[in-house]
Chains A and B, each alone.
Chain A
């Protein structure tokens, strides 16, 4: 199994630009999570999906952030327009249907907004 695949690994963009982060979960996993990690706030859950349906987006910081999961094998997290304070590592994770399983995390996308 290739694990959770995130792209790009690194992204540098100018303030005001649109940024799209991508995630391919592990096949057969029905839950998908987007986390953001910063020094100040640690690991924050932004949004999670169950069977492609967004369940809880209360962690999405602002309307500038949006996430979609059009099918079971793909999700995107979009920031439009981006701001320097969005600079962070964004992790995608997936987990299987069985209760209590741990998440498998992707390698993360390091976003720098200048």
Chain B
């Protein structure tokens, strides 16, 4: 079975602080993909990043960075110098290859509140 755990329900930070959102996943598949999505207050789900199981390189995109560690089954997301516009619910998700068809399994999300 596939499972994604986001243990942090809600995080509150002050602008310009760095914040890390944790994601731990479970799967027996050797081929899988990990994702992060952002859901701002307006409600849409916005794709942020995808990482496949064979690529453990960390990635940086502006103020965002992602740390993928297969040894701990984690795919953590860090926002540097947070801004109020970063306030949203962030979802980690897992997609495995099972008989050629793919389902995206979401964690329960972490609500990030960035205040001034």
Chain A window 21-37, contacts with chain B (Cβ cutoff 8 Å), 1 for yes, 0 for no:
00000000001010000
Evaluate whether A100 and B33 lie within 8 angstroms (CB atoms) in the complex, with A43-B91, A43-B106, A50-B101 already known: yes
Q: Considering only CB atoms and an 8 Å cut-off, how many residues of chain A contact the other chain?
A: 23
Q: Is the CB of B44 within 8 A of A100?
A: no
Q: Is the CB of A100 within 8 A of B95?
A: yes
For A95, list chain B residues within 8 Å (CB): 102
Chain A window 16-55, contacts with chain B (Cβ cutoff 8 Å), 1 for yes, 0 for no:
0000000000000001010000000011010010100001
Q: Is the CB of B105 within 8 A of A45?
A: yes
* B interface majority secondary structure: strand
Q: Is the CB of B106 within 8 A of A102?
A: no
**Which residues in A have some Cβ–Cβ distance to B below 8 Å?**
31, 33, 42-43, 45, 48, 50, 55-56, 89, 91, 93, 95, 99-105, 107-108, 110
* Smallest CB gap from A89: residue in B: B43
A102 to B95 CA separation, bound complex (whole angstroms): 9
Q: Is the CB of B47 within 8 A of A108?
A: no
